[in-house]
Amino acid sequence: MSPAATRRRAVVVLGVALALALASRAEATPPTGGLAATRTLVARLAAAGRGETAVTLTRSDPMGGPAQVERGRLALEPPDRVRLDFPGSGERIAVRGDGGEWVQPAARQMVRLKREQTARVAGLWEVFLRGGNERFAERVAGERRFVLEARESEEGLPERITVFLDARGLPVALEMDDWAGGGVRYAFKAWRFSRPSGARAFVLRPPSGFTVVDLP
Amino acid sequence: MSGARGTAPAGTPRAARAGRSLASSLLVLILAVAGCAPHLVRVAEIAPALRAERYRLALAEREARGAAVDAQLLLWAEVPAASRLPGAEGRLLLAAPDAFRLRVGSLFGTALDLGARGDSLSAYVPSRRKGLTLDASRDSLGILRPGGLAFRALSAAWRPPDSAWPAADWRDTLLRVWWLEDADTLAVAVGSDGLPAWATLARPGGAGGQVTYRAWDRSTGTAWPALLDLEDRGGGFRLTCKVSRVRFPARPDSLRLTVPIPAGADRLTLAGLRRALERLGGL
């Protein structure tokens, strides 16, 4: 998988992860409304404190070529902790309330994210925290399938997300555009819920020889 | 990657001569201690004509390979007085003689999709849903034929006219050849291996830029730029590109070279495009 594709993949998966994590915060407080697409996951995360799943990304190549696939692991801890690890590329991303890190082996760098930048990444998912109706409209698109459509175009927000649920109501797949003509599908497998690991598990250290750079 | 090489020679001719003298003295001393009679060996300077011929041969290879190129990039933008920016990953398509497409990733998805063919330039910033399409002219873009210029810079496909070679001169160990295109002055400095060490474009009025080829990849059988710096003449902007995973498809795909700009995208200004370029990695 190309480094650029890996990067785009990680970014969108991160967004998805944040969506789910922040959605859980919404559910943990007053469960007013919310989106049917994330309702069950939100409840499970709120009850256990931590959720993990295997992630498989399939991404079309807008510049031609075959679709690209990479596998990783996602961990969520409400209200704001997300960690993604992709063993194949070595890429890792961690986000929490006070900031985050993004390890990019291709560039041999670790990018540090400030709090407001993680919030920007999580912008999409904060709509779920607030109930979802502010920015997205949800409609049923089939059995256990929901389409979320942005009411207005906003930077960093996909226009449309399709969520697929399993029989238990947990997400098994998400599909969305990557804002630039590419399509992305994320498959989740074997959700596990457990007690939270805590904030330290969501802090990344730079590998030896890596440059540490702040995202301006 | 192989064939790493410095940029323009750092030392003066005098210093270089001094270095050679010292090395020769050491060699003589070693041979004398070993009981061998020293023989002074005169290293013949490569004739300009031979170096020019090497350059033409290597250039022809690059031009042929450049019919279709697909490569991964790592990009570092530097703007003086600005904080250091993270590196950005991208993908580059080239198609001789005058087309390219560069797609740069970012934390939030695709940061910039930029392409040109001949005089036509297109750019799209997906996260902001802003796009730009224009036919280049000196009045608007400031350069002629941006597609051809980018292709030549990224594939080191600078072709001096035959009439320029007799006037080539030496810049230390590099053979510099220069010529005029419209009102612009172009120059290429050629190393002993027949590869360009740098190329410059100077426009009337002082504008212009330089590309420095710092390393070459010979793994495909054709020496291809693997590490290059692009900077404007005023030193206000510098972009370092590390090229990897270079492939040469059998033919270019014009569809893939096209930057799609969705209907309804807001207009991206040239100033906005420049800001996007300067903030690669920080978008």
- Choose from A1, A6, A7 for mutation: most chain B CBs within 10 A: A7
The residue-averaged pLDDT of B122-147 equals 78
Q: Which of B93, B101, B109 sits opposite A179 (nearest CB)?
A: B109
What is the number of other CB atoms lying within 10 angstroms of the CB of residue B144?
17
Report the candidate in A181, A34, A166 with the shortest Cα–Cα distance to residue B109.
A181
- Choose from B72, B74, B78, B107 for mutation: most chain A CBs within 10 A: B107
Could B107 and A214 be called an inter-chain contact, meaning their C-beta atoms sit closer than 8 Å?
no
| A145/chain B closest Cα distance in angstroms | 25
- Choose from B74, B78, B79, B108 for mutation: most chain A CBs within 10 A: B108
Three-state secondary structure readout of chain B: CECCCCCCCCCCHHHHHHHHHHHHHHHHHHHHHCCCCCCCCCCCCCCHHHHHHHHHHHHHHHHHHCCCEEEEEEEEEECCCCCCCCCEEEEEEEECCCEEEEEEEECCEEEEEEEEECCEEEEEEHHHCEEEEEECCCCCCCCCCHHHHHHHHHHCCCCCCHHHHHHCEEECCEEEEEEEECCEEEEEEECCCCCEEEEEEECCCCCEEEEEEEEEECCCCCCEEEEEEEEECCCCCEEEEEEEEEECCCCCCCCCCCCCCCCCCEECCHHHHHHHHHCCCCC
Q: Give every CB contact of residue A187 below 8 A, 6+ residues apart in sequence.
A: A55, A56, A57, A58, A172, A173
- B34 has a pLDDT exceeding 70: no
Res A7: pLDDT: 47
- B78 has a pLDDT exceeding 60: yes
Q: Which of B87, B124, B256 sits opposite A109 (nearest CB)?
A: B87
- B139 has a pLDDT exceeding 70: no
Using CA atoms, how far apart are residues A30 and A23, in angstroms rounded to an integer? Answer: 11
- Which residues of chain A are within 8 Å of residue B256 when distances are taken between CB atoms? 63-64
Structural tokens at position A111: 């990018």
State the number of CA atoms in the 13 A half-sphere of B34 facing the CB.
9
Structure-token match 């295109």, residue found? B181
Q: List Cα–Cα distances, A204 to A16, A100, A112, A122, in angstroms.
A: 20, 8, 9, 18
- Which residues of chain A are within 8 Å of residue B86 when distances are taken between CB atoms? 104, 107, 109, 111, 213, 215
**Residues A51-89 pLDDT 10s:** 999 999 887 877 777 788 889 998 888 888 888 899 998
Which residue of A lies nearest to B115 if distances are taken between CA atoms?
Answer: A63
A209 touching chain B per CB within 8 A:
no
Contact B123, B113 (CB under 8 A): yes
Contact A85, A101 (CB under 8 A): no
Contact B240, B228 (CB under 8 A): yes
Structural tokens at position A195: 């007690």
Contact B142, B208 (CB under 8 A): no
Q: Assess: ipTM above 0.85.
A: no
Q: Give every CB contact of residue B101 below 8 A, 6+ residues apart in sequence.
A: A63, B92, B93, B113, B114, B115, B256, B257, B258, B259
- B199 has a pLDDT exceeding 50: yes
**Residues B205-257 pLDDT 10s:** 888 899 999 999 999 999 999 999 999 887 778 899 999 999 999 999 888 89
Report the candidate in B209, B210, B180 with the shortest Cα–Cα distance to residue B198.
B210
B258 touching chain A per CB within 8 A:
no
B110 touching chain A per CB within 8 A:
yes
A82 touching chain B per CB within 8 A:
no
State the number of CA atoms in the 13 A half-sphere of B243 facing the CB.
29
- Which residues of chain A are within 8 Å of residue B110 when distances are taken between CB atoms? 8, 178-180, 182
Could B260 and A181 be called an inter-chain contact, meaning their C-beta atoms sit closer than 8 Å?
yes
Using CA atoms, how far apart are residues A131 and A133, in angstroms rounded to an integer? Answer: 6
Chain centroid, CA B119 distance in Å? 20
Could B108 and A3 be called an inter-chain contact, meaning their C-beta atoms sit closer than 8 Å?
no
- B122 has a pLDDT exceeding 70: yes
Q: What's the first-to-final CA gap in chain A, in angstroms?
A: 27
Contact A178, A8 (CB under 8 A): yes
pLDDT band at residue B35, thresholds of 50, 70 and 90? Answer: very low
B266-267 and B130-135 strand pairing: parallel
The residue-averaged pLDDT of B64-68 equals 95
Structural tokens at position B244: 């990897």
Indicate the DSSP class of residue A18: H
